[in-house]
Amino acid sequence: MEAVETSAEKSSETPAPPSPVARALTPWLGITLGTIGLLWASGIAVDLGIEIIAEQVMVLVLGISFSIIFLNVPVHPRYTGTLPWFDAIAALIGLGIGLYMFYRYPVLLENVAYMPVEGTTVGVILVVLTTEALRRTAGWGLCAVLLTFFAYSFLADIVPGQLQGRAMAPGTFFSFLGIDTTGILGIPLTIITTVVIIFIFLGQVLLHSGGSEFFTDVAAAIMGRSRGGSAKIAVVASGLFGSISGSAVSNVASTGVITIPLMRQGGYSRPIAGAIEAVASTGGQIMPPIMGAAAFLMAELLEIRYQEVILAAILPALLYYIAVFLQADLEAGKTGIKPVPEDQIPPIVRVLKEGWYFIVPFAVLITALFSWNSPPETAALFGAGSIVVLGTILSYKGKRLNLQILIFCLRKTGEMSVDILVIGATAGMIIGILDATGLSFGLTFLLVQVGEGNLFLLLGLTAVICIILGMGMPTTAIYFLLAVLATPPLVKLGVEPIAAHLFVLYFGLMSMITPPVALAAFTAAKLAETSPMGCAIAACRFGWPAFVVPFLFVIAPNLIMIGEPVDIAIVFVTAIAGIWFASAGLTGYFTMRLNLIQRAGYIFGGLSLLLPSQAFNGAYIVEIAGGVICTTILIMERASKKAAAEAN
C-alpha cells in the first residue's frame, strides 16, 4: 500500500500521521469507516435481514472518527510528531464509546428514562468528545458558536426579551444530546453516514483513476485555442471536478497546482490567476448534480426529493460559471492574452477515446436519479460501481484501478469523512438545542420583526450574517448552521423555501472568497505566490454575480425553475446579458478598452437587465431601459473601433 500512498498523497488534503502509532492504526481505521459507510449505503444489512438501526451505525462511525482525529490532530501544535498519553486515551475512549453505543443503543433509546446515570454518562462522553474533535478539525470559530449554544441551553430562562427560552438541566442536556434522535444522532449525521460517505468514495475513485486529468484535458481541448484559454480551462476543469470534491479548498489545492501555473504562463497576473481558480473551485459546491454535500442535506431539511434540489440549483449555478467564464475572456481581451500554445492542447478525439468512460458514472448517476427514481445513495453506489469496473479494465495516462488502489480509496474515504461526520454531530446538537429550548421560534420571530416592513432589509442582513458565520468553516458546516438559523425567517415572510435555502448556501459559500477569512482565495494565493488579500479582493470582483443572483431568485423564482417555461427562459437569457455587460463595465473592456462613462453605462445597464420583470410593478421598464443603454454603448463602441481601425 505504501507505493500507492506516496503517489496519491500529493492530491490529498489529509496530513501525514504525526506518530508511529497513528501511522500504523489510521489506515485500518479509515478502511473500516469507509467500508461501513459503503455497506450501509448499499442496504445490504436490510437485504440480509440483519436488525441494525441507523443510529447504531452512526454512533459507530462517529466513534471511529473520534479515534482517527485524536490520533492524528494534536491537542496543540507543539505535540506534532508525538502521541501524548492523553490523546491516546481520548482515541481509545472515542472508539470504545462507539462500540459500546453500537451494542447498547437500542436498549438505551427505549429505556433512557429508567437509566438516567448511564444515559447521562454516555451523553457527557459523546458531547465532550464531539466538542473537542470539532475544535481540532474546524477550529475555534465553529467551536465558539457551539459553546454559545451550550451556554444558552443552561441560561435560556434568564435571557431577556424575545430570545428567552426553556433552560435545560445538566442531566437532561447530556442524555438528550447524546441519545435522542434530534441530538448528535440526528438528521445531519444520518445524511452524512447514509449518503455523503458514498459520494466521497465516488470522488476518490474518480480522482485515483485519472478523472481529474481527464476533466482538465477535456477543458484544454475545448477551450485552449480561444483567447485566455488557460483561464477557461481552469473554470471548466474546476467546475467539473469541484462538484464531486466536496470542498472548495481541496478543489483549489488539487486542480490549482495545474491551472494556476498554466494561467501564469498564459499571461494572467498572479492575483488574477489565483482569483479565477478560487472562484471556479468555490462554485463547484453549487454545481449539480452533486453540489458537495449540500444538496442531500437541503433535500432532507426541505422534505423534498433530491432531484428537485438539482433542478432548482442548475440555472443559478450556470449563471455563476458563465459569469466567471465571460470575465476571464474579457480580462484576456483587455490584457492581450493569447490562446494556449498548440503543443499543450491535447486532441479532443484522443482525450475522449482514452477517457470516455469517465462520463459513464455521471450518466449512470443522473439516470438512476431521474429515470429510475433511485435514492441518492443508491445512485451514487451505481455510479461508483460503474467507474470501479471500467477503471479496472481501462486506463488513462497510465492510471488504472486495482485492488490495492481501491483499498487506498476506501482508506481515504474514511479519513476524509471524519471532519464532516463531526460537523454533522455538531449540527445535530445545535438543532436539538434550538428545538428543546424554543430558541428557533424566538430567533425567527425577532428576524421577522426586523424584516416585517422590508424584505430586502432582511435579505441584506441575512447575507451579511451568512458571510460572517461562514468565515473559516467548511462548506457543510456553513450550510448546516445557516439552514437552521437563517432560513426560517425568510420562509415566514413568504420566500420560497428552496429559494431561502439556496440563498443562505450561496452567501455562506461566499465567505470562501470574501476577506478577511477567504480560505479558498488564500489557498489559491499561496499556489500563485501572491498577496492573499489581493487575491481575495480580485476573487470578489470575479465572483460578484454570486452576491447578486441569490437576491434575484428570491424575488423571481423563475431562476430556480418555478414558473412557465417561457418566463424561465426570458429571465435566464436577460440575466446572461446583464452579467455580460456589467462584467464588461467592471473589467473595463468589451470589444475595446472602455472609458469611465462607458464603464458606468455598462454596469448600470447590465444590472438593470439583471432585474427580473417580476420584481415589482414596472420592473420591465427598467429592464428595457438597461437593454437600450447597453445596446447604444455597444453600437457606439463598435463604431469607434471601426473608425480607429480605418484611421490606422
* Residue 27 pLDDT: 92
pLDDT digit string (tens) for 110-157?
Answer: 877 777 888 889 999 999 999 999 998 877 877 888 899 999 999 988
Note the pLDDT tens digit of each residue in 446-458: 777 776 667 788 8
Q: How confident is the model over 245-283, as pLDDT tens digits?
A: 556 776 787 678 778 888 888 888 899 989 998 888 888
For the ranges 49-63, 224-238, 258-272, the lowest mean pLDDT is seen at: 224-238
Which stretch of 329-343, 386-400, 594-608 has the lowest confidence by average pLDDT?
329-343
Report the pLDDT value the prediction gives residue 15, as an integer from 0 to 100. 47
Chain-centroid distance, C-alpha 474: 8
Distance CA 332, CA 268 (A): 8
Indicate if the pLDDT at residue 648 is higher than 70: no
Lowest mean pLDDT among 476-480, 522-526, 595-599: 476-480
**Rg for the chain, CA atoms, rounded:** 25
Our measurement of the distance from residue 194's CA atom to the centroid of its chain's CA atoms, rounded to an integer in Å, reads: 18
**Residue 62, C-alpha cell as written in the block:** 462517529
Chain position carrying cell 445557516: 482
pTM of the predicted structure, to 2 decimals: 0.78
Q: How far apart are CA 198 and CA 483, in angstroms?
A: 23
Q: Given this model, what pLDDT does residue 618 score? A: 80
What are 360-374's pLDDT values in tens digits? 988 898 888 778 888
Judged against a pLDDT cut of 70, whether residue 568 lies above it is answered with yes
Q: Are 550 and 612 in contact (CB under 8 A)?
A: no
Residue 589 is classified by DSSP as B
User: Which position has the higher pLDDT, 312 or 247?
Assistant: 312
CA distance between the termini of the chain = 66
**In this predicted structure, what is the pLDDT of residue 4?**
31
pLDDT of residue 3: 32
Chain centroid to CA 482 = 13
CB atoms within 10 A of CB 134: 24
| Residue (of 209, 252, 314) closest to 536 by Cα position | 252
Q: Assign residue 406 a region: left if phi > 0, alpha if psi is -120 to 50, beta otherwise?
A: alpha
> How sure is the predictor about 630, in pLDDT bands with cuts at 50, 70 and 90?
very high
Q: Per-residue pLDDT tens for 19-28?
A: 888 888 999 9
What does the pLDDT read at residue 406?
94
* Residue 612: cis peptide before it, omega within 30 degrees of 0: no
- Identify the burial level of 51 via C-beta atoms within 10 angstroms of its C-beta, where 0-12 means exposed, 13-18 middle and 19 or more buried: exposed
Q: Are 312 and 568 in contact (CB under 8 A)?
A: no
For residues 324 and 263, give the distance between their C-alpha atoms in angstroms, rounded to a whole number.
14
Confidence of residue 585 (pLDDT cuts 50, 70, 90): very high
Is pLDDT above 80 for 294? no
Q: Is the pLDDT of residue 87 over 80?
A: yes
Q: What is the pLDDT of residues 482-539, one digit of tens each?
A: 787 778 888 888 889 999 999 988 888 888 888 877 778 888 888 888 888 889 899 9
Question: What residues form DSSP beta bridges with 593?
Answer: 589
Residue 9 has pLDDT above 60, yes or no: no
Q: What percent of the chain has pLDDT over 70?
A: 92
Q: Give the residue ranges of DSSP H helices in 83-164.
A: 85-111, 116-138, 140-155
Rounded CA gap, 613 and 575, in Å?
A: 11
